[in-house]
Structure 1
Amino acid sequence: MYADALQRAGDPRGELIALQAAAAEHPTDAAIATAVDRHLAAHELYLLGALAPGSKPGTVAIWWRLGFVDRVDLSMSTTAEALAILDIIATLPSCRLLRELAIMPATHRPLDDAAIGDRLVALGRPATLSQLMIGTPRWSVTPALRRAFPRLADADLAIDKVLATARTGGVIPWNRAARLTAVQAQQRVARIATRLATPDAFGIEVDPAVFATDAAVVGGGRVRELVVPAERTVFIEGDLTVEGVFEQAFRSAPVLVFGNLTCGSVCTSGYLVVMGDLVVADVFYGFYGASTNYGTHVFGDVRIATLVLEDDHHLGTHRGMQITRTELLAVEHLQARGLDLETQAHLVAGLRGVTAGG
């Protein structure tokens, strides 16, 4: 085997491959995980060269896979720094199987996306690159980059493409979406911090710290329905239309929509922020809120056919609000109506009957 041959030759990569293979087979084994970390620390100069900690500008986050770097997230202050790191990645043996690369600005000043893209095209490596993000999640792969890196054809941030890969049972594979580290998510939110700090009509501000976690990033588009995952923050870049139910169950991840959100119905027990307009054709059901970080904040106009708020869910607006019908319901009221509080989709369907019947 390749790892055995490397070990016999005294190459530290051979031992790393063996250790990481064992870690993949036994993901909960702390001893193996510790052995991997120690091996990487002992041989970081050999394995990473100029990418080793303390030897390069900016912030470089690295993920490994069976002895080779699988993903690199760069946070650079200048375009020149980013270009220098790309030159290193293109020639570093550990990066020859790199699949994911994210290059984000470390300050409020944007990087030169075109210059970075041109450098990648000129380098043409690593050939295995299949997911790329430059500057901001709105950036898109250019034709020249697609020719240089054919595998990038599948790296589409459009939400309908992400949802189209849903597995049997309707589970959305959010791991197929682009990803931001917690630092990158903070940087993205920092660009709209002034707007978020503006109190709504009730004097309540959005807490940016809610979004300071790893984030899944998808583009706008149109989908039949959307179920928010629980494991990471969701950024929607652009306008999103959900023909059916937008479902954000209790303790689901917070959602930040940078454009408009248009839905058939919304059922949320989480933290939902819409920077544009919120339009709901049928029922908006908000459950839980008060002093917790569970609420809905809209910075554009709000148009809702039927608004149902329960247990102090906060609906904050910064502009106009047009509501056709409003109901403030207590838990006991819903239970008396025989609605299934555990199943969000059934709840919305039941609320149609409640609101129609008065």
Structure 2
Amino acid sequence: MSHPYRSYYEITEQRTAWQEAVEVVSAAAKRIQSFFAQAEPSEIIFAGCTSPFFVGESAAVYWQSSLGTRVRAVACSELLQFPAAYYASLRGRPVLVVVSRSGKTTETLWAVDSFVQRYPGRVFLISCAPDSPLAQKVEQAIMLPAGFERTLAQTSSFSAMLLAAYMVGAVLARDAETLGLLQSAPAACDRILARAEPLVQATMQRRPYQNTFYFGAGPTFGIARDGQLKMMEMSLSDTMCYTFMESRHGPRSLITEDSLVIGLCTRAGLGLEADVMAEYTREHGATTVAITPAQNWDAGQPTCTIPVDCDWPDHIIGLAYAPVMQLMAYYRAVAKGVNPDSSRNLTQHVAIDGSPRRGYDQE
């Protein structure tokens, strides 16, 4: 099959971006440790917009469990609109970890400015744009230019920034085991893609789906949300995302034989997640796809199982799932005759004219 779209190569050749992330974070380890040691954060906030926000959602689960410090992810727009909800209880020692591909998105720049007014000198950036306006506003940064795509959707950049965020957490936690797994991740990238691609292609071309559901949990929920976003952006499909068990409450009302259900499986959810997938396969007749860490995984006998064959713990397995999600969006777009390199009404970053308008509670 020929591939006339650049996004295909940005997805399938992203090992270079992964390798850059490993090398950059490894070289910056002492600088990273020094910055956070001096900051002594009482709380760490990941901030970003859509895909970068989902990087923060995924990484925050690992950082929270390994650092013993409160860590959460917040959309930049939320920091702008409701600062009292996030800053009032921080007691003076927060660190803001900003994730941004372009370093140009206006609401990200505004959120950083707002934070710096309250807490100067406490911003850490993960980005793909060394010369961006955002890069000039921060004290420390991890720059990953090899991941910056020429097309619209964040594919290789998402994976590279996610890998970097996981690695920074491992460096801070002095988690040698996780750090070693992440440093070897580029070697696994090509294998993951080669194994998944024929299965993904066959599933995406199997039938015209009316809607697509993504399920994740814990550290894979942010990955599932980004998979949903990629499918929406690249193939212009109706998509939804929930945790596995939450899907039983209302979303299942829309799951039919014309639905595609994609589950990102974890070790912690083994059994629970399989039961959900089995219900939608048997009772609803949906096409179900389980992305699993390994072969012979109890995933509830879905329509298709895509094992990534990575013996990684739950807190970083999302990195192996990310390129599979991207391939799914690409092949769904191709099956629908949609150009995956661009999208409707979207640009690589969101630029807003003027300055932020103040809300009533921000005076």
The answer to which structure has the higher strand fraction is 1
Q: TM-score, normalised by structure 2?
A: 0.29
What is the TM-score of this pair, normalised by structure 1? 0.29
Higher helix residue share: 2
Q: Which has the higher contact order (CA 8 A, sep 6+)?
A: 2
